[in-house]
Amino acid sequence: MSEARTPNRCGQIEAYFRREERYEGLQLVFKEHPELKDEILKAIEETMKETGEKPAVFENSEKAGAEPYAFYIEFNDDYDKEGGEFFETLLKKLGIDHCEG
């Protein structure tokens, strides 16, 4: 029996990862779409509950109809690099198999 797989969503959501000494950040960029936005927010909330991590989450919704739309998820002072596990879990939930950068 084959295992069900989530389709690759890279065409809908672009993920950009950045790491510095004690900082890790993930940017999720997409065309504004209410269902997609809700799906991403739900995945972030579920991942926070599962991992117990509380990253800073920002969105660029200040301008109506801003394109592209994006969420920024950041860990500051991440000495133990716990953000990596959070990001991996989140990307799996969203069906994203790689980051752009």
Q: Express each pLDDT in 41-53 by its tens digit.
A: 999 999 999 999 9
Residue 20 is assigned to a structural domain of this protein: no
Picking from 78, 69, 16, 23, the residue whose alpha carbon sits closest to that of residue 51 is 78
User: To 10 degrees, what angle do helices 34-51 and 83-94 make?
Assistant: 140
% of residues, the chain, pLDDT over 90: 37
Residue 9 lies in a domain: no
Domain count across the chain: 1
What distances in angstroms separate CA 91 from CA 59, 62, 64, 65, 66, one per listed residue? 17, 25, 26, 25, 23
For 48-86, write each residue's pLDDT tens digit: 999 999 999 998 865 666 677 889 999 987 666 677 889
For the beta carbon of residue 31, count every other beta carbon within 10 angstroms.
10
Query: Cβ distance 86 to 55 under 8 Å?
Result: yes
12 touches 67 (CB < 8 A): no
Q: Which domain holds residue 39?
A: 34-94
66 within domain boundaries: yes
Tokens of 19: 């790491």
Interval 23-27 mean pLDDT: 89
